[in-house]
Amino acid sequence: MRRNQPLFVQGADLHKNTFRMSEAAEQGKDLCIHTGVVLRNANTKEEEVQSLGTLNIVEYSFGKCIEWKPVEDSVVSENPDQDSEWSLVDTHVRRARTSSEGPDSLGRTRTVRISFSDLNSLRINHGGQQLIFMQKDGTTYVAFFQLSNFESFLNSLKGFINFVKSRTNRNTFIVVDEVQSVLSKSFAELDIFQENTSDYVWKFVRNLHNRPYETTLEAFSKLADICLYKDPVKSSEEASEFLTHDVPALPASVSSGDEYEVIGDHEFDVLPPRPHCPRGMPLSQEQWNKFKDSEGRILNPQEVKDIIFHGGIIPSLRFEVWKFLLNYYPWNSTHIERLELKKRKTDEYFAMKLQWRSMTLVQENNFSDYRDRKNLIEKDVNRTDRTHPYYSGDNNPHLAQLSDILMTYVMYNFDLGYVQGMSDLLSPILCLMESEVDAFWCFVGFMEKVSPNFEVDQAGMKTQLCQLYTLLSTTDPQLAYYLNNHDSGNMFFCFRWLLVLFKREFSAVDIMKLWEVLWTDLPCKNFHLLICAAILNTERNVLMENHYGLTEILKHINDLSNHIDLSSTLSKAEGIYCQLISAEDQLPDNIRVIIGLEIQNNVLPIIDIENDIEASDHNAEADESDINAEKNSSTESILEFDTVTFDVKRFK
């Protein structure tokens, strides 16, 4: 049986972060708990599958720690309605029974603890999905947030640790010391709010801006709850401290990974009004002919794409133009070159097809990975678009073609293989091309664009879901806030939209129009996320006015299938793009990254002019040497921080 729970503390670090006996015996006090986090030691291999757990802030007699526990430990605490004694019995049974697991997977030994006093710096990576903890001895842990992003955790941490943003890397925060403030500590300990507390404070401040009346009442009702139901002496102290505290003077909140945001400095909270962007006419045969030179080269592909982005392609021309859009034919190839290319690609296709066709039964029996892919293709082909006339009826020959192309793709890209959803992406292409070879190569081009959706670790999907939430926080902060408050901030309800690029949401005719628009890569990177934002904008009132929760949101979004108007959605998505672009100067970097704009640190303009060149070298992917360099310069950065703060104040 596959081992589901590999050891994640490896090698030399093992002794350090598992416990000494005396420490292990102490029952720490959980100050805050974040679920859905995978933790891995930076030294372990990327491919290794990690188990899910909770990332907590825990207080012990020897100090506070960040602690990660695998999910088994938290099963008990996840069921508040359970009688605690029963939970213990059940947990006991559960552990004793799972004899197939090694000792490493049993509870405490797998917990990782990072003491606040050992923490040197934090770094945000992968658009906010990863938070990297650097300890003073150089040990590095990567926390991968599956259910939310790092933001809420970092905001909680802010209640306990003072950290400053690194001068040289805007995604890195250097720990200065522990927070001594009674206020932030006691807020976290008070357990007034269901969500973590500093998060709540920041949501409160943001919301106060948007919905002052409701927000104030809500906050007062929560304070009232606490005065009525909790220890009265303690809570009234907290409340008065909270009320007398000067709100704008609180430490700045972190917005989605890239910068400190000073409250009151929220210019792009409201984007400019959305312009109306009418759809255009589809690319016509006449226009297309004009773009070709005498030998068949397409003279101005950018202009062609522009027409397609605004209006699509007339149906009779799709068959030809898609081959260019999907990078099967180069735009600057001549008629003759394309004929030669097609001949070459035909040979190549049949050579690959022969590879699996000629596999013997014995070979197949000895090749389980291949067999798994083959079985799954067989199952899925038989249920792909069977209501479409092209694939309907028993023994439909097109099903065999669908299957042959997918099998050949397995040989073309065995590692990716076949993943559910791929047959959905191929079906309209084959239906249009009516040629196995052309459909295959167009499918290859399509997969080039969307292969991250099908990766084993689903990182591509998680990144997009996270980016969609980030985007929504800017384009529709109220809706983003609503979703987050209704257990839907992870945007899982948009999973199907993204995985098969809306294939299940639109009719066969509309999906072709939508895909050709997306294949132009105009007007910006990740335009499909803007389409998601546009659909959600159309549905926002239904979701919020009906007070939909997690299940209702999911059901409502699922049920939108075949009820979304394509043309108005595309118009709206383009409108949202125009809104973002007209506020370009004020867009935070995390939004800039999503829509493919150059990164510019626009919060601390004075210091960053000199650092811009260096910073742009830094902001790609995290590599460990980078972090080490950061560590060495951290003392210097702290010293400089005072000056920076001063400069900013003067600047304003």
Partner 1 sequence: MSNRDSDNLISTNDETFDYLFKIVLIGDCGTGKTCVVQRFRSGTFIERHGNTIGVDFSMKTVLIDDKKVKLQIWDTAGQERFRTITQSYYRSANGVVVGISTFLSLQHWVEEVRRYTSSHVLLILVGNKCDLESLREVEKGEAEALCQYLPEVLQVVETSAKENTNIDSVFFYLASELKRRHENRQINANGDEVVRLGASRKLSSCSSCSYKIF
- The C-alpha torsion from 124 through 126 and 130 to 132, rounded to 10°, is -50
**String of contacts with partner 1 for each residue 7-46, x by CB under 8 A:** -----------------------------x----------
Instruction: Note whether 135 and 120 are within 8 A (CB).
Output: yes
Decide: is 106 part of the binding site for partner 1 (CB under 8 A): no
Decide: is 246 part of the binding site for partner 1 (CB under 8 A): no
- Could you tell me which stretch among 232-240, 372-380, 598-606, 609-617 binds partner 1 (CB under 8 A)? 372-380
Task: Give the shortest CB-547-to-partner 1 separation in angstroms.
Answer: 9
Q: Under rule CB under 8 A, which residues in 60-99 are in contact with partner 1?
A: 71-72, 75-76, 78-79, 82-83, 85-94, 97-98
- Among candidates 578, 650, 649, which has minimal Cα distance to 252? 649
Residue type for position 237: E
Rounded Cα distance, 131 and 622, in Å = 11
- Could you tell me which stretch among 252-260, 288-296, 492-500, 525-533 binds partner 1 (CB under 8 A)? 492-500
Task: Give the shortest CB-506-to-partner 1 separation in angstroms.
Answer: 14
Maximum Cα–Cα distance for the chain, whole Å? 88
As to burial, measured by CB atoms within 10 angstroms (0-12 exposed, 13-18 middle, 19+ buried), residue 494 is buried
Among 546, 567, 568, 628, binds partner 1 (CB under 8 A): 546
Among 343, 555, 605, 636, binds partner 1 (CB under 8 A): 555
For partner 1, the closer of residues 25 and 233 by Cβ is 25
Q: If you ran DSSP here, which 8-state letter would residue 407 be given?
A: H
Rounded Cα distance, 450 and 497, in Å = 13
Decide: is 504 part of the binding site for partner 1 (CB under 8 A): yes
For partner 1, the closer of residues 157 and 406 by Cβ is 406
Q: Which two tokens stand for residue 35?
A: 């679920």
For partner 1, the closer of residues 51 and 236 by Cβ is 51
Instruction: Note whether 417 and 371 are within 8 A (CB).
Output: no
Task: Give the shortest CB-108-to-partner 1 separation in angstroms.
Answer: 17
- Could you tell me which stretch among 166-174, 283-291, 306-314, 551-559 binds partner 1 (CB under 8 A)? 551-559
Rounded Cα distance, 152 and 157, in Å = 9
Task: Give the shortest CB-543-to-partner 1 separation in angstroms.
Answer: 11
For partner 1, the closer of residues 82 and 538 by Cβ is 82
Rounded Cα distance, 333 and 465, in Å = 38
Among 366, 420, 567, 628, binds partner 1 (CB under 8 A): 420
161 DSSP β-pair partners:
178
For partner 1, the closer of residues 500 and 604 by Cβ is 500
Among 495, 502, 506, 515, binds partner 1 (CB under 8 A): 495
Decide: is 336 part of the binding site for partner 1 (CB under 8 A): no
Q: How far is CA 38 from CA 34, 70, 120, 128, 316, in A?
A: 11, 8, 21, 14, 49
Task: Give the shortest CB-415-to-partner 1 separation in angstroms.
Answer: 13
Residue 577 contacts by C-beta under 8 Å, 6 or more apart in sequence?
523, 524, 527, 530, 595
Task: Give the shortest CB-274-to-partner 1 separation in angstroms.
Answer: 28
Among 250, 508, 554, 581, binds partner 1 (CB under 8 A): 554
**String of contacts with partner 1 for each residue 290-319, x by CB under 8 A:** ------------------------------
Among 385, 436, 476, 589, binds partner 1 (CB under 8 A): 385
Residue 153 contacts by C-beta under 8 Å, 6 or more apart in sequence?
34, 37, 55, 131, 143, 145
**Beta pairing class for 172-178 and 63-70:** unpaired
Instruction: Note whether 57 and 25 are within 8 A (CB).
Output: no
Q: How far is CA 450 from CA 187, 225, 411, 499, in A?
A: 44, 49, 18, 8
For partner 1, the closer of residues 105 and 166 by Cβ is 105
Q: Under rule CB under 8 A, which residues in 578-617 are in contact with partner 1?
A: none
For partner 1, the closer of residues 420 and 568 by Cβ is 420
Q: If you ran DSSP here, which 8-state letter would residue 586 be given?
A: G
Residue 523: is the preceding peptide bond cis (ω within 30°)? yes
* Residue at token pair 């190839």: 333
Bin 389: left if φ > 0, else alpha if -120 < ψ < 50, else beta: alpha
Q: Which two tokens stand for residue 188?
A: 């976290």
175 DSSP β-pair partners:
163
For partner 1, the closer of residues 528 and 618 by Cβ is 528
* Nearest-10 crossing angle of helices 197-210, 477-485: 140
* Nearest-10 crossing angle of helices 197-210, 150-157: 110
For partner 1, the closer of residues 349 and 454 by Cβ is 454
Task: Give the shortest CB-504-to-partner 1 separation in angstroms.
Answer: 6
Decide: is 244 part of the binding site for partner 1 (CB under 8 A): no
Among 69, 274, 353, 496, binds partner 1 (CB under 8 A): 496
- Could you tell me which stretch among 151-159, 316-324, 524-532, 554-562 binds partner 1 (CB under 8 A)? 554-562
- Could you tell me which stretch among 218-226, 267-275, 489-497, 629-637 binds partner 1 (CB under 8 A)? 489-497
Among 254, 411, 461, 535, binds partner 1 (CB under 8 A): 461
Task: Give the shortest CB-254-to-partner 1 separation in angstroms.
Answer: 24
**Number of residues located near partner 1, criterion CB under 8 A:** 63
For partner 1, the closer of residues 62 and 414 by Cβ is 414
**String of contacts with partner 1 for each residue 137-166, x by CB under 8 A:** ---------xx-------------------
Task: Give the shortest CB-79-to-partner 1 separation in angstroms.
Answer: 5
Q: How far is CA 579 from CA 41, 73, 523, 526, 583, in A?
A: 41, 46, 13, 15, 6
- Among candidates 289, 201, 182, which has minimal Cα distance to 247? 201
For partner 1, the closer of residues 91 and 327 by Cβ is 91
Task: Give the shortest CB-629-to-partner 1 separation in angstroms.
Answer: 33
Decide: is 450 part of the binding site for partner 1 (CB under 8 A): no
Rounded Cα distance, 304 and 515, in Å = 15
Helices (H), 451-506: 459-475, 477-485, 495-499
Residue 312 contacts by C-beta under 8 Å, 6 or more apart in sequence?
282, 283, 513, 516, 517
Residues near partner 1, by CB under 8 A: 1-2, 4, 36, 52, 71-72, 75-76, 78-79, 82-83, 85-94, 97-98, 100, 146-147, 376, 379-380, 382-387, 419-421, 423-424, 454, 456-458, 461-462, 490, 492, 495-496, 499-500, 504, 546, 551-552, 554-556, 558-559
